Amino acid sequence: MFQSNDIAKLLLRLLVGIMMLFHGMDKIINGISGIKKLTVAMGLPEFIAYGVYIGEVLVPIFIILGLYARVASVFLGINMLMAIFLAYSGSIFTLSKHGAPLIELPLFYFVLSIAIFLLGSGKYAVNSK
């Protein structure tokens, strides 16, 4: 009846998509001025900061729906690499006061985006493959 692999893919997509969408909603509500400052501080044009809306709002919706989830996961992975580069450069190997790496959360999302890319969206998706 239910394919456990397809249910696992659905759960993975829902987890990543919904949790990342919370980050995107925060950017919609509170703006991206902090991200703009980080991009400029790294010598990048300020308009690059607007990519966060794609990576944290649009892409998670695609992942949740399973609509081109593999392509969307590539964009999420790039978004997470940019987050690590912008917010954590110079402190990649630094540990927090609780012993976890400072880059734990974006690294976690990066690895999960790779998993979605490798696994695909599964049977329970808008365009299932």
19-63 per-position pLDDT tens digit: 999 999 999 999 999 999 999 999 999 999 999 999 999 999 999
* Residues belonging to the chain: 129
Angle between helices 69-88 and 33-41 (to 10 degrees): 70
For residue 91, the model assigns a pLDDT of 75
To the question of pTM greater than 0.75 for the whole model, the response is yes
60-78 per-position pLDDT tens digit: 999 999 999 999 999 999 9
What's the pLDDT band for 93 if we cut at 50, 70, 90? confident
